[in-house]
Structure 1
Amino acid sequence: MTTITRHRAAPWWPLALAGLCHGAGAQTELPAVTVTANKQAQALDAVPAGVTVHEGEVLEAAGVTSLRALEEITPGLSFQPFGQSGIHSPVVRGLSANFFSFSTSTLLLVDGVPTLMAQGFDNSLLAIDRVEVLRGPQSTLYGRNAEAGVINIHTLAPGYAARTMLSTAFGSRGKQGLRFDLSRPLVEDTLYASVSGSWTRQHGFIDNTLNGGTADDREQGDARFALRWTPDRDTDATLRYAQQTWRDGAALWGAPAAARATVASGTPSWNHSIARTLSLDVSHAFASGLRLRSITARNEFFDRVMQDTDFRAPDTLHIGRDHRFQTLSQELRLEGSAGASQWLAGLYLDRDDHALANEQKLPLALTRSLAEQRGRTAALFTHWSVPLSAQWKVEAGARIERNELNFTPGGQPRRSADDTRFSPKLALQYQATPDSHLYASVSEGFRAGGFNVFVPAANYAAFAPETVRSFEIGTKGTLLQRRLRYAAALYRMNVRDMQVQQMPTPGVVYITNAASATSTGAEFELDYLLATGWRLQSGLAFNRTRFGTFRDGSDVYDGHRNPFAPDLNGHVGLRYDAPKGWHVQATLTATGKVYLDAANRYSRNGFGLLNLSAGKTWGAFELSAYVHNLADRRYDAVGYQNGIVTVYSPPREVGMRLTWRM
């Protein structure tokens, strides 16, 4: 959090638009980028880890309005094909988690508030300052479920500079959208407020031949409010509330044997989920140079779903969920300096309180299961950045974390599990030139264990935490008078007690610690001001995640690929901003083939997408048009849920946006 400097400033939007004119006019070098990957402000090029940063105004101008869209512009990041809004399981460097485990391998943070599972792992990227995607184990600073990385979203805080943005959108399949962001000072130099929101509605593309309509219509709403108080130069407090709602039809599912994007479903399918977050973020700078920060939060997600799973007229097979997930969290951090060294120490506490209600319809029975799951986490952590000489620096950190979990199936005795983990990290950095750095690091991460909450046949068996040890070397910096920024990294991760989803029969899903694995790979990023008005941005990630030893009964999966982990993904984007206010942009993204199960029987083929956009600015107004998936590529996940479901990919979308800023 930044302490306010008490003076008037120019409105924010001309500066934002200037930043979007990639190389236009007087821009002759790339701007400096500051991140908080290590929970302290630091230049991007000086962070000894793989980090991709997306500026909020660039995302807004490009029409990137969903968390899932980040996979198209972030090397090493993808998401499992699930087909339901509000639930996304990320895949970073080949590691992922199934949503049945109620955890993720990558942590989502929004203004310091954690989301620890796929349920609620979503964001409309509204009123964003920046998004930082950290790759590699981050458990030292961020704790459980950051074993593969962190997606850290920072929203725009209200301040002394007023801002206003209003945007409308229209597109294919009757798409309608509205986004707004309003921020004003209420009391000069003391109290500020902002309110923002979005609403999107769009018809589906999956035809229900039984009733003549579409099965998968979508409607999403988002509302955010922030109140910021700065009683003096040293104290900064922000109260935030955010809510997302979904009023969708069916998931993007169909039967593998049916005609594509066609169902004949007689069972109503819908998603009426809600996410709510309330947080208080306070920081204070002491005269001694120390800074204290506190983030107190309540994060809730209500997963309310009914879904047909045989896609036929009679109600033979369906699933239903009415889950409530609630996490209360508290983080305290103290940071300061000791000579030339920078240090940070902190305390983290959280409490989970989850109420789970599951329904499953089989041909001969309707089963309803109730359960409660409660957990507690307590952790102490520290991080140090110590210069060894003018060119050498070491960064070191450690975290000790205690997790306790209590699980109570309906009508059954309570089951308990606990675990204590020590997660160290050490990085050595060398500044080869004023504009280039080399680094090497070793770190450990882990993902929390749990219980198979809806598998009474296995006596609700527990599964242990998954652990990772990572080795990484990399380089980053700038060239050509700061007109080119580059980053490259090589890594190897050894995974122990790997959590693997098994589905022996349709509808029966459980998690076991069935495998060891290795993940090796390389990542490259490039940001280049080619010439006046021209900017090239690209990223490429190679990954090879394979099981070491994996026995599932009589089946041997040694050497198989980890589900949902592509061997390749990347993007290249080219944008031109003309001096007269118009722009054109083309982005090509590619993702390799992924398997959907540990046996590697079912898969989604690799694919490439070409996205185009163009626009013109007149004063405070901007009119733009876009085409997503120009070639109308199909990349269905055929055989999801152990062969019983196809997750359909969305078709080409064409649309327009009109935006007003002042």
Structure 2
Amino acid sequence: MTKYLLFVFSLLSLGLNAQTATTGVVTGVATDAQGKPIPFASVLIMETRQGTVTDDQGKFKISDIKPGTYQIQFSAIGFVANQQQVTVLVNQTTQVQFEVKPNVKELQVVTVTAQKRSEDLQKIPGALASIGPKKIQNLQISNINEIGRISPNFKSYDDGAGLFPMLASRGVFTIDDTPVVGVYIDGIPLFNTMSFPASLTDVERIEVLRGPQGTIYGRNTLAGAINIITKRPNNQIKGFVSAGYGNLDRFTLEGGIGLPLVKDKLFARISGRYDTRGGYIENTFLQTNDLLARRMGSGNFKLMFYPNENWEVTLAGGLEYRENKAYALLGGFGANGQQLDSLKQNQPYKLSYNTQGNYYTLSSNNALRVSYTTPQFTLTSVSSYQLTDIDRTDEFDFTQFDISSLKPSFRKLNTFSEELRISSNNSNSRFQWLAGVFGYLVKRNETQNIESGADNAFSAPDPITAAQYPYITIDKNEIEQRGFSVFANLTYGLTDRLSIIGGLRYEIESNNTSVDKSFSRNGDPTYSFPALGLIPDQFSETTTFGAFSPKVGLSYQMTPEVMTYANVARGYRPGGINPFTTNADAVVFDPEFSWNYEVGIKTTLLNKRIRTNLTGFYIDYEGQQLFTIIDIATFNFGRDNIGRSISYGVELETEWIVASGLTATLNVGYLETEITDFKVIGFAGEVDNKGNRQAYSPQWNGNLGLNYQKKVGQINLGVTVDYQYQTAMYFDPENTLEQEAYGLLNSRLTIGYRGVSLAFWAQNLTDEIYFSYGYGVSGGGLFASYGLPRTLGTTLTLKF
């Protein structure tokens, strides 16, 4: 029996040996020209279709290959496909070495001036996004309201009138005219949302900074900043002209040219834009359909003078005029979220007003910038003057009833500012520094003529009869704000990789407000406010607020491609005066503060073909200034301070060259917010908003973009698709007015030949019906404005 078993095992062994002896093995490694391994690449034997994938060291192994001569193909995203001929021998291992070349371009280094010096975006220890002129065009960004699509947890909302672009970052927002996200054009601060441009013309770059930026930028940057840089002229004559047309009678005409006046010394650039669009909201009461129609025209110039290699002098200016048919707010005092949502679903783009609102705005921004540069430092002076003049009429009760409306009224803003700063220039030094002083003067004059009609229920001066109407409340105010700050920002390299960051700004602002209030009824003498126990007809109030805005942080350059950082920064926005209240106890509101804690990692991987940045943050927000009812007895509205709120979240930003000509971008934001202390007195008594989410704070938001460029002979083809998405959010602190989750799909197809291109574009391609803007006066009312429906059009551009 034993001999029999030995005989059987011998036969099996011979069989196995015979099987093993009939095949061979191929192993190898795949690297780029620098010897770096290429992971997750496909390796395939063309004749047998046997294959595998390289590991994280770029190595691979294919077994059980019959003897013979084969073609082995290597392929990986971003690399040129490569084939080699190999001969497989019985019971032997064949070695293969693939050295392959990339077939796509590298992501270009993005140079930004977010910290008032030129730097690589990936080397800045903070949350920052930047896009250049091609992306601005492909993403169809033509105004500030559209900037929100380029950065996670950063949103911009159109109020419908084009008057108050509303910017929100990480759960921090405001609906008044003093922004929490500062806007700067070529370094010039725009203090008031009414001074924001209606369109962006001749722009070279847009930078979006998230988190407090008070150390470097100062006023109105509690939640972030937008830095807009326009194109500069040089020794070449370069320009463009474009014209576009779309539905809603949209027509645009834009152009710009830069040229040398004196070679190497004096250069000039001029640009202009005209943009008009019809309305898309029907007023069923007045039987019109032009609500939210817009028209604007602007012109800009820039002169740049270089006396010698050290000096640079830039004189720039712009003028813009715009007309808006607005507002078109759905809702009113006493409205609830269910009513507004029902109207949106069943009767979209319709409302019923008895007054047509019109806004006419003229604004001018002018600046003189002088810089002196040496190898050690740069000294820069930036002087600016801004004028904004607004004439308007408006609906105030947002109903068809004759309750309240704004008769011809005006507002004028004059702003002067000066910044003097000095910064280091030696990039090889461990010690980098920036220091300066900043001062400003804002003068504001405003007259509001508010007519109370026969249907008004809040005309309290004396016993009311229909015959006593209408009467007009005349509010006049003059506000003067003066501010001064000193600041410094320092970076010191403790080692070649580890750096410490420190910054500090002290800012002080005084506010002097003079108010003149009166009643006018059918030409009768004015009523007396003192007799009603309210603020006197004429009064003045002065406040002074000051605060420190510190920032500390660490950055660690793990490798040339990977950097980590951690920051702590304090945000600040000064208090002020409510000029329209009649309650003396509610005239002054206090400053608001935030502490922002942030950690992040920035990477550039896969041979510089993918850029991925990840950020986490936590914000403790105290004393938030919110537009609300400040005195229910007199039905007065203004800014008041809520107790406290918190927000925290994560942000992902990715750009990837997928293949030759194809680039993908992905931005994702996750945001949690909670109001921890906020009570207000409404019509139904005290309202406690504790535990609610902050307004304008969707839990998830983001966008996915694809851009493909292909040259076919002399023809350049380009396709861009961009999808924006956000989950549900509220417009009010009571969490009663909700905008459900929605997404907007935009696209652009461009056909170019030499300097001429024709683009076909679409926005909101799926025709989503949604509220783009809204607000709730806690305990008082809800209001919302519709976003743009589907728009389609074409644009012809000539570049020279």
TM-score (ref. length: structure 1): 0.92
Determine the structure 1 residue equivalent to 2:38.
none
Aligned positions of 1:156-235 closer than 5 A? 156-209=231-284, 210-235=286-311
Determine the structure 2 residue equivalent to 1:149.
224
Q: Letter of the 1:319 partner, please give it.
A: L
Matched, 1:429 2:535: no
Q: Does the 8 Å CA contact 1:79/1:89 hold for their aligned counterparts?
A: yes
Q: Does the 8 Å CA contact 2:144/2:156 hold for their aligned counterparts?
A: no
1:415: Cα distance to partner? 0.7
Cα separation, 1, equivalents of 2:472 and 2:293: 27
- Picking from 701, 708, 715, the partner of 1:576 is 708
Determine the structure 1 residue equivalent to 2:37.
none
Q: Which has the higher contact order (CA 8 A, sep 6+)?
A: 1
Cα separation, 1, equivalents of 2:317 and 2:394: 30
- Picking from 769, 790, 795, the partner of 1:634 is 769
Determine the structure 1 residue equivalent to 2:364.
276
Cα separation, 2, equivalents of 1:399 and 1:359: 40
1:57: Cα distance to partner? 3.1
Q: Does the 8 Å CA contact 1:526/1:538 hold for their aligned counterparts?
A: yes
Q: Letter of the 1:283 partner, please give it.
A: S
Cα separation, 1, equivalents of 2:245 and 2:128: 34
Cα separation, 1, equivalents of 2:239 and 2:438: 36
Q: Letter of the 2:799 partner, please give it.
A: R
Matched, 1:476 2:602: yes
1:534: Cα distance to partner? 0.5
- Picking from 185, 188, 195, the partner of 1:113 is 188
Q: Does the 8 Å CA contact 2:147/2:156 hold for their aligned counterparts?
A: no
Determine the structure 2 residue equivalent to 1:345.
435
Q: Secondary structure at the match of 1:103?
A: coil
Q: Which structure has the larger Rg?
A: 2
Determine the structure 1 residue equivalent to 2:472.
366
Q: Secondary structure at the match of 1:141?
A: coil
Aligned positions of 1:408-557 closer than 5 A? 408-410=514-516, 411-503=537-629, 508-553=636-681, 554-557=686-689
Cα separation, 2, equivalents of 1:483 and 1:60: 22
Aligned positions of 1:245-324 closer than 5 A? 245-255=321-331, 256=340, 259-286=347-374, 289-310=376-397, 315-319=402-406, 321-324=409-412
Determine the structure 1 residue equivalent to 2:753.
618
Q: Secondary structure at the match of 2:236?
A: coil
Cα separation, 2, equivalents of 1:117 and 1:417: 19
1:502: Cα distance to partner? 1.4
The superposition leaves residues 8-29 of structure 1 with CA deviations (integer Å, 9 ceiling, x where unpaired) of xxxxxxxxxxxxxx99997520
1:552: Cα distance to partner? 2.1
The superposition leaves residues 594-623 of structure 1 with CA deviations (integer Å, 9 ceiling, x where unpaired) of 222222222322310111111111110010
Uncovered stretches (5+) of structure 1, i.e. residues with no partner: 1-21
1:104: Cα distance to partner? 1.3
Q: Does the 8 Å CA contact 1:454/1:460 hold for their aligned counterparts?
A: no
The more displaced of 465-474 and 62-71 is 62-71
Kindly tell me: are residues 77 and 429 of structure 1, through their superposed partners in 2, closer, same or farther at Cα, counting changes over 3 Å? same
1:337: Cα distance to partner? 5.4
Cα separation, 1, equivalents of 2:276 and 2:758: 20
Cα separation, 2, equivalents of 1:401 and 1:27: 49
The superposition leaves residues 81-140 of structure 1 with CA deviations (integer Å, 9 ceiling, x where unpaired) of 5211132121011101221xx411111111111112322234522111111100011111
Q: Letter of the 2:372 partner, please give it.
A: H
1:639: Cα distance to partner? 6.7
The more displaced of 261-270 and 637-646 is 637-646
1:413: Cα distance to partner? 2.7
Kindly tell me: are residues 601 and 264 of structure 1, through their superposed partners in 2, closer, same or farther at Cα, counting changes over 3 Å? closer
Matched, 1:567 2:655: no
Aligned positions of 1:76-87 closer than 5 A? 76-87=153-164
Q: Secondary structure at the match of 2:145?
A: helix
Q: CA RMSD in A?
A: 2.2
Determine the structure 2 residue equivalent to 1:6.
none
The more displaced of 556-565 and 369-378 is 556-565
Cα separation, 1, equivalents of 2:362 and 2:402: 26
1:243: Cα distance to partner? 1.8
Kindly tell me: are residues 264 and 60 of structure 1, through their superposed partners in 2, closer, same or farther at Cα, counting changes over 3 Å? same
Determine the structure 1 residue equivalent to 2:151.
74
1:315: Cα distance to partner? 4.6
Determine the structure 1 residue equivalent to 2:40.
none
1:630: Cα distance to partner? 0.9
Determine the structure 2 residue equivalent to 1:355.
445
Q: Letter of the 1:528 partner, please give it.
A: W
The superposition leaves residues 198-241 of structure 1 with CA deviations (integer Å, 9 ceiling, x where unpaired) of 11111111123434442332111121111111111111111111
1:492: Cα distance to partner? 0.5
Cα separation, 2, equivalents of 1:512 and 1:23: 59
Matched, 1:377 2:483: yes
Determine the structure 2 residue equivalent to 1:591.
726
1:67: Cα distance to partner? 1.1
Cα separation, 2, equivalents of 1:95 and 1:399: 21
Q: Secondary structure at the match of 2:148?
A: helix
Kindly tell me: are residues 594 and 223 of structure 1, through their superposed partners in 2, closer, same or farther at Cα, counting changes over 3 Å? same
Kindly tell me: are residues 422 and 148 of structure 1, through their superposed partners in 2, closer, same or farther at Cα, counting changes over 3 Å? same
Q: Secondary structure at the match of 1:627?
A: strand
Q: Letter of the 2:363 partner, please give it.
A: A
Q: Does the 8 Å CA contact 2:162/2:198 hold for their aligned counterparts?
A: no
Uncovered stretches (5+) of structure 2, i.e. residues with no partner: 1-77, 81-101, 332-339, 457-470, 517-536
Kindly tell me: are residues 56 and 471 of structure 1, through their superposed partners in 2, closer, same or farther at Cα, counting changes over 3 Å? same
Determine the structure 2 residue equivalent to 1:608.
743
Q: Letter of the 1:236 partner, please give it.
A: E
Cα separation, 1, equivalents of 2:267 and 2:718: 34
Q: Letter of the 2:710 partner, please give it.
A: A
Cα separation, 1, equivalents of 2:546 and 2:352: 50
Cα separation, 2, equivalents of 1:32 and 1:385: 21
Kindly tell me: are residues 466 and 582 of structure 1, through their superposed partners in 2, closer, same or farther at Cα, counting changes over 3 Å? same
1:652: Cα distance to partner? 0.2
Q: Letter of the 2:489 partner, please give it.
A: H
Cα separation, 2, equivalents of 1:639 and 1:571: 24
Q: Does the 8 Å CA contact 1:282/1:293 hold for their aligned counterparts?
A: yes
Kindly tell me: are residues 23 and 107 of structure 1, through their superposed partners in 2, closer, same or farther at Cα, counting changes over 3 Å? farther
The superposition leaves residues 365-410 of structure 1 with CA deviations (integer Å, 9 ceiling, x where unpaired) of 4212011111111111111111111111112111111111111111
Kindly tell me: are residues 304 and 295 of structure 1, through their superposed partners in 2, closer, same or farther at Cα, counting changes over 3 Å? same
Q: Letter of the 2:747 partner, please give it.
A: L
Q: Does the 8 Å CA contact 2:103/2:659 hold for their aligned counterparts?
A: no
1:638: Cα distance to partner? 6.6
- Picking from 87, 112, 116, the partner of 1:39 is 116
Cα separation, 2, equivalents of 1:204 and 1:409: 36
Cα separation, 1, equivalents of 2:793 and 2:122: 36
TM-score (ref. length: structure 2): 0.77
Determine the structure 2 residue equivalent to 1:12.
none
Determine the structure 1 residue equivalent to 2:48.
none
